[in-house]
Amino acid sequence: MSLEYTSSEMMTVTAARALENGTTCFVGIGLPSEAANLARLTHAPDVVLIYESGTLQTKPDILPLSIGDGELCESALTTVAVPEMFRYWLQGGKVNVGFLGTAQIDRFANLNTTLIGDYREPKVRLPGGGGAPEIATNAGEVFITLKHSRRAFVKDVDFVTTLGFGRDGKGRDNVPNIGKGPTRVITDLCVMKPDPETKELVVVSLHPGVNREDVMDATGWEVRFADQLESTPEPSEKELEILRELKARTERAHTGE
């Protein structure tokens, strides 16, 4: 019998499985942090998690509220200055994977966390890029995770905060000392990867219970599907148990219970 789980749990488990044991991962707050720590607590105990505040090989017992959460520093192997984090560790090529979230993403995997609408008169101002622009250009590859909707998946982002493959899919062509860029996008509906030639995102796997129409309805461009479309494996009982306990532990800690 299939286990009962939510679409959010499906997304987190799928994103966690993307991280291999021993990988050095620069982690964003929110969904990427949830997935990266689930990976550490399950199949990838030797994954090295790095956060922007300078914490190296951190092993938080609860999910951090921000990069400045004391839990990260207390559980880290060591903490270095932010300039050293970026200049030596990230720009020095020591990060295998950058794990990012976003507010908007387009067909060429460009990310927008700056604003919605016109730059001079935006409808909404967002938090900004933080370290994401540097992570996306210096990490070996980038994983992105976010919930799937037309508001988030747009044909062209309103502002390119973080480079995917540029407005035309050629933004990384012939640029030296730059990583592969986004290699997969994990949502609550599917998994997407860039086309090897055009770099446009293509659906390669559908989550259980999701059909093509669900993805098309939630995507702001005429999305393509791989010729060999796969079905994403369901979460295991162990993965769900560990994820739920992690989130419950986090909730108790943050509410003071």
* pLDDT tens, residue by residue, 22-65: 999 999 999 999 999 999 999 999 999 999 999 999 999 999 99
- Give ∠ CA 110-112-114 in degrees, rounded to 5: 150
Pairing mode of beta strands 141-145, 122-125: unpaired
Low-confidence ranges of the chain (pLDDT < 70): 1-2
Contact 6, 211 (CB under 8 A): no
Give the pLDDT score at 240. 97
Length of the chain, in residues: 257
Give the pLDDT score at 109. 98
Nearest-angstrom CA–CA distance, 257 and 251: 8
Give the pLDDT score at 1. 46
Active site residues: 52
